[in-house]
Structure 1
Amino acid sequence: MTDTAPQNDPTTPNALPKGIRFAGVAGGIKASGKPDVSLIVTDRPAVMAGVYTTNQIVAAPVILTRSKTPTATGRVVVTNSGNANACTGDEGMQNAKAMCALAAELTGCDAADVMVMSTGVIGQPLPMQKVRAGIESAAGKLGDAEADFLASADAICTTDQFRKTVSQAVSIRGHEYCIAAMCKGAGMIAPNMATMLGVVMTDAPIGPKAAQTSLKEIANQTFNRVSVDGHMSTNDTVMLVCTGMSESENVQELTVEELAVWQEAATQVALKLAKMLVADGEGAARFFEVRVSGAANDDDAFVIAKTVAASPLVKTAITGGDPNWGRIVSAAGYAGPKIEPERTCLVIDGVMVFENGTPLSIDAAKLSSAMKSNSEVLADLKVGDGPGTASFWASDLTEAYVRFNSLYTT
């Protein structure tokens, strides 16, 4: 397995949720010697919720953690990178349980309150001696400083070119709550939840049921709207950790109205992370955004946008800076939802290339040059006069991606 060191990483504000400690260490799982074990530990029982892969081939840590959430007594999220612990049979499940048991012992909680995530190569047994050493080392380095948070974020990375972290505050009922999040992902990105590992953390007081509902909606609006290669992982997991510790011990849970304010802020945090996944796509040269309008409803618009963004022909056109609008329009046509061809219009990077079902005369060379000179390409696609809208974000498809993934395990 090849690991790339995080670099050019986005900055993270110093503010972090109260009541959480972090650690990230190198346990020796990765041949590169880079960090590969992460611990996130709450100071007291916390609400934890999760959303997971919908792949029928599911890694042991997903099965185990999914069975524990949502909960009001969560204490630990332990993660290893460098090995997915997927397709590893009963041994894999026993190893996932052993990770929880050891983390519980070292942090003073019950194994039932420990969530586990794994990422890396599929089908290889976990090197448990190294995993145990990593967990023990991480438990001895827990801290609540930004450096500890970033170390934890580094340790969940695999092929990522940079760590992915975001933090921001939201003011509700006169109090300021913090939302901090980390994720990893650069390849095997085609979410039907979130093809990645991620943890969203907050000190806002949110109950288990509300946390689960909120996290699912956040994922639907962000992580489920990005794609790199169209391949859904076996290990997709995004956790939401709510300590409720920003105020007094008797702080009341957020009301429905207050939760909506918090959720909007958390969605913006998650969207920034989701876009980082695309920007860091393996071998990617360009970030591609598809905006669809005029569909019968938002769900139809989403399907059309996702279909266009996932097309290998569209992706390679974006790689080459080729304003091949026919690929985009035809992808919308086979996506499934009804469109109105005579009202279909397409704008690429501000240039109308197709209007009301008719191609326009454009300076293709000039538009191509503009596309090649930018790291981002925007396609605005109108498919009728309906109220449905949606956006989807994807990377292009390059020779570098093919080379990297043709040698991933060898």
Structure 2
Amino acid sequence: MSSQEQGKFIVVPEGSVTTPKGFRAGGLHCGLKKTERHDLGAIVCEVPAAAAGVYTLNAFQAAPLRVTQESIAQDGKLQAMIVNSGNANACTGQQGEDDARAMRAAAAKALGLEVHHVGVTSTGVIGELLPMHKVLGGIEELPQRVKTDGGDDFCQAILTTDLVQKMTCVRVSIGGHDIHIAGAAKGSGMIHPNMATMLGFITTDAKIESQHLQLLLNRVTDNTFNMITVDGDTSTNDMVVVMASGLAGSETLNPQHPDWEAFAAAFQYVGEYLAKAIARDGEGATKLIEVNVVGAESDNAARAIVKSIIGSSLVKSAVYGADANWGRIIAAVGYSGQSVNVNTVDIRLGDITVLEQSRPVKFDEEQALAYLKTDTIHIHVNLHMGSGKATGWGCDLTYDYVRINAAYRT
């Protein structure tokens, strides 16, 4: 197995959500999308897996999210996640609730599982009822489509305006046992922190109780999925779900276990990889923007400033145009709502210093232009006020973003 070292864990390039022991996945086309691309998928575990989830803060939370939360709440376990793309089943009233429950019941019957061990989620157009005859027909076919090498088919089934699939896998040694953590996600537009518009699915064969898995997911979400933005919109359907089969044969993990931090670091890598992949694949995007803020009064202040910068349409537009207009960056710092010493701010674009102690620094415009034409842009801000720090990710704002979203339903 070819692999790549990343600190205490190893990246498995060919891995997928089915690499952890006990998992199968798959996808198919049931007719929700106009094209023949897959639009219905599933991840299935051999055993009821410890589960945890995080969900959108949008007040209009879609029906499938409520159904999935209900399933996990029963005994902290899931054995399957069913997902459709092409229709969000959001803002669809009681019928939407009934349809989400019908999806759950149909999947449980088809796969021979307890109903409360099935979660469901949807992504796509808001406000349209699911064509349930198509969905239920597809669910009947799913048992024949889920397999140990079905990770790619599952990834295709969850895409909407995404241009690329987003998947990663790592291996970490826990008590002498190889543990795998894998993730798949979709997300391209309506991306904004708390949470970004996205669906994320993480599988692991670690043995871990649901409550500890939930605590870890919350922590990683705050530093990854909640630190990306594309367009400032938070969707109705955002969700990340983790399933842990416990089949790797290791001891039960908890925060007191000597290998907990190694496991947490590997888990953090999976979340960060998927978050950055979503930001890089923002609708119409040509560049990934990473913003690092240090020297803030607190980590929370640093996070707020990061989000202000990566959420600025003017900053995003300047990056698209390769314009080293640092004035847009410091303006975003200033309106972040956080305490700032207006005399001590440093800003760098990559290695190019453009502001020092809040005073302009003469820099080579041609060098800055060449840097800003690359596909990954790093913006560094040092406030020189404290030890708070944070990192977040976004993308540039292009003409294609408007084109894609002007015709989303048509």
How does the TM-score come out when normalised to structure 1? 0.94
By how many angstroms is 1:11 displaced? 5.1
Alignment of 1:353-368 (within 5 A): 353-368=354-369
**Match in the other structure for 2:144:** 140
**Given the alignment, which residue of 91, 98, 102 partners 1:98?**
102
CA distance in 1, matches of 2:172, 2:308: 34
CA distance in 2, matches of 1:205, 1:172: 10
Percent of aligned positions that are identical: 39
Q: What letter matches 1:85 in structure 2? A: N
By how many angstroms is 1:27 displaced? 0.8
CA distance in 1, matches of 2:14, 2:126: 31
**Given the alignment, which residue of 12, 15, 34 partners 2:14?**
12
Alignment of 1:1-400 (within 5 A): 12-13=14-15, 16-70=19-73, 71-145=75-149, 148-247=150-249, 251-254=251-254, 256-257=256-257, 258-372=259-373, 374-400=374-400
CA distance in 2, matches of 1:158, 1:395: 18
Q: What letter matches 2:219 in structure 1? A: E
Bigger mean CA deviation after superposition, 91-100 or 342-351: 342-351
Q: What letter matches 2:380 in structure 1? A: D
Root-mean-square deviation (CA), in Å? 1.5
Deviations 1:138-172 (A, max 9, x none): 12222112xx1111111111111111110111111
Q: Which runs of 4+ in 1 moved over 3 A?
A: 70-73, 251-255
CA distance in 2, matches of 1:255, 1:377: 35
Q: What letter matches 1:186 in structure 2? A: S
Q: Secondary structure, in 3 states, of the residue corresponding to 1:292?
A: strand
Deviations 1:181-220 (A, max 9, x none): 1000111110303420011000000101111111111111
By how many angstroms is 1:255 displaced? 5.2
CA distance in 1, matches of 2:67, 2:310: 33
How does the TM-score come out when normalised to structure 2? 0.94
Q: What letter matches 1:119 in structure 2? A: T
CA distance in 2, matches of 1:382, 1:359: 14
Structure 2 stretches lacking a partner, 5+ long:
1-11
By how many angstroms is 1:254 displaced? 4.2
Q: Secondary structure, in 3 states, of the residue corresponding to 1:77?
A: strand
Q: What letter matches 1:367 in structure 2? A: A
CA distance in 2, matches of 1:311, 1:68: 38
**Match in the other structure for 2:9:** none
By how many angstroms is 1:308 displaced? 0.7
Residue-pair matches, total: 396
By how many angstroms is 1:45 displaced? 1.2
C-alpha spacing 1:166/1:347, structure 2 compared with 1 (3 Å): same
C-alpha spacing 1:208/1:370, structure 2 compared with 1 (3 Å): closer
Contact 2:346 2:383 in 1 (8 A): yes
Q: Secondary structure, in 3 states, of the residue corresponding to 1:341?
A: coil
Contact 1:39 1:139 in 2 (8 A): no
CA distance in 1, matches of 2:318, 2:253: 49
**Match in the other structure for 2:5:** none
CA distance in 1, matches of 2:380, 2:107: 48
Q: What letter matches 2:286 in structure 1? A: A
Contact 2:15 2:182 in 1 (8 A): no
Deviations 1:314-358 (A, max 9, x none): 110011000000110111011011111211011112111111011
Contact 1:54 1:193 in 2 (8 A): yes
Q: What letter matches 1:84 in structure 2? A: A
